[in-house]
């Protein structure tokens, strides 16, 4: 497969539904581009799927991709370039787009939703899937929202295609055996379409009066969860933990990271990475290099991992209030990830800006335990404090982690990030749209995400 990738061949990105693969391949053949082989490397799956003719074998490979929740990761390699008229055909009958393998693959988009009332959450998730989002997550912070695993159990059956799971959990509020058992249970209902996003802990642990976990603790936790899922037992904190019923199974684990050491750990240990650094090109390149350094410690490279970039986004067509409340950090901008705290920041802010942000949090009466709040009084107070301190540009400008602006500006920010390597972008839902997340998702998709090529 590596030799095939090195050649300047053409490819067809094959989309769902698998039942239509015959029509797709027939169009390709009629264009004078005989198929050599079909290959795919699904995100979160370490080995590529490879198949040759006959078409039935191709269909089986595509069907497996579908069960894994992959939308656009199957490539049909050929020896000839199709006519230009067919190369630009993106009609439903084609179920895909012809392109050079040397070009970038289409971006993928994920969304993180808060577990509101289960009926609302179900509607939000179904809306996101129908729009075309590639992966979904449900926030895990018990003091601010409803309980994550109960919500997942109630609503996940409504989804058909996309993988889903806690996004982002922590190693402190559940024992590894409890986490592994919950993952395996959901995987029974949605085989191959479950994932776990996990970091050191944020509001879920801060609202229990606990500090975030140390990176060594996160490592031990992830190793234990994976061992319980794959082998049914694990050594954790000097004791043996068992999970006798789950049987060997692989569920992708994504490590959330924003600092140098945590990004390297994520590259070393994770099936995937969630980089909470935004998509500014100068940040993306640095982040990918750190993930790659960690991956090489375990005999891999960054290309072997499913890397996502976490960001917040607000497009102007969402309305004036959405733009005004865009810097909705509610104290979250103060700390190691943005220029202070005990850890050495990866992208430090100027000292005077950091001091102003501390004053913003004090003036607004906010702290990190409130992040994601839907309280408009708090959010307007925070937004005004940001303006008064003169730091709005630092939070929303071209080099910031958020994507804010007109549709054209947002599209260009996403394209610039993708050119730097941020091909998978995960969006954190603004709190002030609760309970109107379907409106947010639909507007963002129609005005921005569907325009990114």
Instruction: For 116-167, give the DSSP string.
Output: -SHHHHHHHHHHHHHHT-SEEEE---TTTSS-HHHHHHHHGGG-SSS-B-BS
186 and 312 belong to one structural domain = yes
State residue 380's pLDDT score.
85
Cα Rg of the chain (Å, integer)? 22
Residue-level pLDDT at 203: 86
Please name which of 167, 79, 162 lies closest in space to residue 115, comparing C-alpha atoms: 167
Residues 224 and 269 in one domain: yes
| Residues 87 and 153 reside in one and the same domain | no
Lowest-confidence segment of 212-221, 316-325, 383-392 by average pLDDT:
383-392
The listed range with the strongest mean pLDDT (121-125, 275-279, 319-323, 365-369) is: 121-125
The pLDDT assigned to 105 comes to 42
Asked whether residue 403 falls in the same domain as residue 387, the answer is yes
| Rounded mean pLDDT, 262-277 | 96
Give the pLDDT mean for 379-400: 79
Of residues 379 and 58, more confidence is placed in: 379
Residues 6+ apart with CB under 8 A from 76: 11, 12, 14, 24, 25, 28, 35, 37, 38, 58
Question: Is there a single domain that holds both residue 445 and residue 419?
Answer: yes
Long-range CB pairs of 436-439, under 8 A, 24+ apart, other chains included: 437/113, 437/120, 437/124, 437/127, 438/123, 438/124, 438/127
The more confidently predicted of residues 82 and 189 is: 189
277 with 132, same domain: the answer is yes
User: How many CA atoms, within 13 angstroms, populate the side-chain half-sphere of residue 217?
Assistant: 13
Specify whether 69 is located in the same domain as 153: no
Residues 30 and 153 in one domain: no
Higher pLDDT, 81 or 244: 244
Domain count of the chain? Answer: 2
* Ramachandran region, residue 201 (left: φ > 0; alpha: ψ -120 to 50; beta: rest): left
Say whether 255 sits in a helix, a strand or coil: strand
pLDDT at residue 54 tops 50 = no
Q: Which residues of 415-438 are buried (b: 16+ CB within 10 A; e: fewer)?
A: bebbebbbbbbbbbbbbbbbeebb
Task: List the CATH number of the domain containing 431.
Answer: 3.20.20.30
pLDDT for 400: 67
**Which range among 73-82, 99-108, 128-137, 443-452 shows the weakest confidence by mean pLDDT?**
73-82
- CA-to-CA distance for 334 and 10, rounded, in angstroms? 48
Residues 227, 285: one domain?
Answer: yes
Last residue of a domain, one of 61, 83, 100: 100
> What is the pLDDT, as a whole number, of residue 15?
37
| pLDDT at 17 (0 to 100) | 41
Of residues 439 and 400, the one with the higher pLDDT is 439
Residue where one domain finishes, among candidates 65, 100, 135: 100
Q: Indicate whether 92 and 134 sit together in one domain.
A: no
Range of the domain at 220: 108-451
* Predicted confidence (pLDDT) at residue 377 exceeds the cutoff of 60: yes
pLDDT band at 386 (very low <50, low <70, confident <90, very high): confident
Q: Which of 100, 124, 153 is the last residue of a domain?
A: 100
**Residue 81 shares a structural domain with residue 117:** no
Cα(434)–Cα(418) distance, integer angstroms = 29
Q: pLDDT higher for 109 or 360?
A: 109
Percent pLDDT > 70 in the chain is 70
pLDDT at 22: 57
- Considering the domain architecture, whether residues 74 and 217 belong to the same structural domain is answered as no
Q: What predicted TM-score, i.e. pTM, was given to this entire model?
A: 0.76
User: Is 175 a residue whose pLDDT tops 60?
Assistant: yes
Q: Is the pLDDT assigned to residue 59 strictly greater than 60?
A: no
């Amino acid at each position: 497969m590596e030799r095939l990738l090195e050649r300047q061949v053409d490819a067809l990105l094959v989309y769902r539904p698998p039942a239509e693969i015959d029509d797709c391949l027939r169009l390709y053949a009629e264009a004078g581009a005989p198929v050599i082989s079909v290959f795919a490397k699904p995100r979160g799956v370490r080995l590529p799927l490879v198949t040759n003719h006959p078409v039935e074998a191709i269909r089986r490979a595509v069907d497996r991709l579908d069960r894994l929740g992959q939308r656009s990761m199957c490539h049909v390699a050929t020896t000839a370039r199709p006519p230009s008229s067919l190369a630009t055909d993106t009609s439903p009958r084609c179920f895909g787009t012809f392109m050079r393998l040397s070009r970038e693959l289409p971006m993928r988009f994920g969304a993180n939703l808060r577990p509101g009332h289960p009926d609302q959450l179900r509607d939000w998730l179904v809306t996101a899937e129908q729009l075309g989002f590639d992966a979904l997550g449900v926030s895990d912070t018990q003091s601010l929202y409803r309980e994550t695993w109960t919500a997942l159990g109630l609503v996940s059956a409504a989804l058909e295609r996309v993988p889903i799971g806690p996004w982002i959990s922590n190693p402190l509020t559940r024992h590894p055996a409890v986490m592994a058992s919950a993952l395996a249970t959901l995987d029974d209902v949605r085989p191959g379409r479950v994932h776990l996003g996990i970091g050191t802990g944020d509001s879920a642990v801060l609202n229990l009066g606990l500090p975030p976990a140390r990176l060594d603790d996160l490592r031990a936790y992830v190793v234990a969860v994976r061992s319980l899922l794959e082998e049914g037992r694990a050594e954790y904190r000097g004791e043996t933990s068992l999970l006798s019923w789950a049987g060997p199974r692989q569920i992708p684990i994504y490590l959330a990271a924003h600092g140098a050491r945590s990004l390297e750990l994520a590259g070393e240990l994770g099936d995937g990475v969630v980089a909470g650094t935004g998509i500014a090109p100068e940040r993306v390149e640095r982040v990918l290099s750190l993930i790659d350094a960690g991956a090489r410690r375990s005999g891999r490279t960054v290309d072997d991992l499913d890397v996502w970039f976490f960001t917040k986004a607000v497009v102007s067509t969402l309305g004036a209030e959405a733009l005004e409340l865009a810097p909705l950090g509610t104290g979250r901008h103060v700390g190691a990830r943005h220029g202070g705290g005990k850890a050495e920041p990866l992208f430090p802010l100027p000292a005077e800006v950091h001091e102003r942000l501390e004053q913003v949090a004090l003036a607004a009466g906010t702290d990190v335990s409130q992040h994601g709040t839907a309280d408009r009084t708090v959010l307007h107070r925070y937004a005004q404090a940001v303006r008064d301190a003169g730091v709005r540009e630092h939070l929303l400008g071209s080099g910031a982690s958020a994507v804010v602006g007109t549709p054209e500006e947002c599209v260009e920010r996403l394209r610039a990030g993708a050119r730097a390597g941020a091909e998978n972008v995960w969006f954190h839902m603004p709190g002030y749209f609760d309970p109107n997340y379907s409106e947010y998702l639909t507007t963002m998709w129609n005005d921005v995400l569907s325009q990114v090529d």
